[in-house]
Amino acid sequence: MQFSRDFERPGRSPATAPTAMVATAHPSASAAALDILRQGGNAADAAIAAAAVLHVLEPHMSALGGDLFAIVAKPDGAGGVALDGLNASGRSPAGLTREIAEQAGGLEPTSPHVVTVPGAVAGWGVLTARHGSMGLDTALIAAIDYAEKGAPIAPRVARDWADEVSKLAKTEGGRRHYLRDGAAPGAGQFMAYPALAKALRVIAEDGPDAFYRGAIADDIVGTLQGLGGLMSQDDLAEHRADAVTPLSCAYRGIDILELPPNGQGLTAQIILNILERFDIAALDPDGPERAHLLIEAARAGYALRDREIADPASMVSAPEALNAKSLAAEIADHIDLEKRNESLPDKLPATKSDTTYLCIIDGDGMAVSLITSLFAGFGSGIVTPEFGITLQNRGCGFTLEEGRPNMLAPRKRPFHTIIPGMALQDGAILSPFGVMGGQYQSVGHAHVWSLMRDHGFNPQAAIDAPRLFWDDSGAIELEGGFSDAVRDGLTARGHKITAAKAPIGGSQIIVRDPETGALIGGSDPRKDGCAIGY
């Protein structure tokens, strides 16, 4: 895969490495992963180490109380690639029904009823058992060290944290573990998390089951039930992370892999299938025509997503049918390059969420794409007092609308926004990649791969390029960097345009050059991370 705009496009140069590379949303997480690789661990071990460090250093975005998804790809020794998908998302409590949630006021973001079983730690166990070469006792050393000794708060983290003070102040655990004198820490201030360190040590010494049974589980259940929640010890003890087969779609000779539902990776494939019907390479990558086409393809894909995607046990349409090129062709026929399609929903979900993503390729060619999140900043805001476990609010991904595939029900996985990606070319590993940003992630995957494949952008240039997405009103938010011609062109096509209130998402990408084997990486300046290798 050749990149024609390595030096033509303004922006940072991509990172390069001949053997191994790590790209995470925080430099200390990247360093922890590299340390594991240098000690002889593989990409799976390094991914767990990095994810655990991110739980400590970006605690508003991911935590032990959140979920995890991953794709692992490695050479199979026969010229092919062995693929393994991991769905470590949790389910709703067995005692929670749609009627109970409605009587409690709905799926309110800080309600104990939107807390689903945390799946991330079970995901670590599966990654270690299926692909790791080290135990969790080694992989978690760096995270425990940061939690015990403390670490400085990064600028993006400090900015986000300040918005969550009122949420954290609602629970004893939030006040005790994540506020200082009732306020959020500032950039550069050191924070230690002794309660979290204690939980990490229990998991390192006794394994993932110690999170779902015993003192940590009692802390989680006691906290939630004390607030009127219905989570039980059985809900935790019976959680399992599932191995799944990634879905594939071909985009101009590249196979883009996504995990099947309950995540929205399928939506990224639908959008790419639609875009493939158009000669995007002939369009100006910075022009209004391409921006309009991306918006319209995304609006159609998201409308389909919101009707169809849910826990796979509840879906009506098969993922393979939604991923079909024929369906994309039908949708593409209704896209007018000169005007907005008014028949599509006016408003689509644009809920803000916080996520950490990382990708790794090790010296043996194993690639890991891993994403973990609490959904909203600090999730539900509910933090357990004893172990400092911040609990996600993924139950907000359900709907209470009766008859919908994604309707809340007992022991059900909600629709999920976080999606890891992997790309293959000619049957070989090309790229682990991910784009953070909650609801934005599906269009983000399509955006960066269209820039790289259609326009020859290198990974860093594709990440740096300005982004657009809709807000809660349906208006299209544009980041800085778009020209007046784009704004005017979109307005003329019927779109309502507004300035983005904050950076849209984040991203990490590693691409292996198919000819030389060299690794080319990019890391998003919208966050605090980096891509490094050796």
**Are residues 255 and 237 both part of a single domain?**
no
At 7, list the tokens.
């030096």
What is the per-residue pLDDT for 7? 43
The domain that holds 326 is classified in CATH as 1.10.246.130
Catalytic residue check, 19: no
Is position 446 within any domain? yes
DSSP state of 416: B
Contact (Cβ atoms closer than 8 angstroms) between residue 118 and residue 66: yes
Domain count across the chain: 2
Domain that holds residue 463: 244-352+425-525
**Count of Cβ atoms closer than 10 Å to residue 39 Cβ:** 14
**Are residues 83 and 232 both part of a single domain?**
yes
Is position 9 within any domain? no
pTM of this structure? 0.95
**Are residues 379 and 517 both part of a single domain?**
no
Sort 408 into a burial class: Cβ within 10 Å, 0-12 / 13-18 / 19+: buried
Closest CA to 308 of 244, 263, 352, 252: 263
**What is the rounded distance in angstroms from the CA atom of residue 13 to the CA atom of residue 128?**
34
**What is the rounded distance in angstroms from the CA atom of residue 488 to the CA atom of residue 252?**
30
Evaluated on CA atoms 255, 8, 463, 266, the torsion sign reads negative
What is the per-residue pLDDT for 11? 56
Cα separation of the two ends of the chain: 21
Contact (Cβ atoms closer than 8 angstroms) between residue 414 and residue 90: no
Helices (H) and strands (E) in the chain — how many of each? 20, 19
**Are residues 183 and 46 both part of a single domain?**
yes
Q: Which residues contact 515 (CB under 8 A, 6 or more apart)?
A: none
Sort 60 into a burial class: Cβ within 10 Å, 0-12 / 13-18 / 19+: buried
**Count of Cβ atoms closer than 10 Å to residue 81 Cβ:** 19
Is position 407 within any domain? no
Is position 46 within any domain? yes
**Are residues 331 and 190 both part of a single domain?**
no
At 413, list the tokens.
């996985």
**Are residues 223 and 104 both part of a single domain?**
yes
Q: Which of 116, 355, 384, 399 is catalytic?
A: 355
- The position carrying tokens 């940003």 is 437
Is position 37 within any domain? yes
**Are residues 295 and 235 both part of a single domain?**
no
At 312, list the tokens.
């796979």
**What is the rounded distance in angstroms from the CA atom of residue 415 to the CA atom of residue 306?**
9
What is the per-residue pLDDT for 4? 56
CA 287 → CA 114, 282, 444, 446, distances in Å? 41, 11, 17, 17
CA 394 → CA 235, 246, 381, 403, 485, distances in Å? 15, 22, 12, 20, 39
**What is the rounded distance in angstroms from the CA atom of residue 60 to the CA atom of residue 49?**
18
**Are residues 203 and 265 both part of a single domain?**
no
**Are residues 262 and 213 both part of a single domain?**
no
**Are residues 372 and 264 both part of a single domain?**
no
**What is the rounded distance in angstroms from the CA atom of residue 352 to the CA atom of residue 397?**
12
**Are residues 210 and 261 both part of a single domain?**
no
Mean pLDDT by 10 residues, the chain (534 residues): 54 79 94 96 98 96 96 92 98 97 95 98 98 96 97 91 95 96 95 98 98 98 98 98 97 98 97 98 97 97 95 95 97 96 79 81 97 95 98 96 95 96 97 94 97 96 96 91 96 96 93 92 91 91
What is the per-residue pLDDT for 156? 86
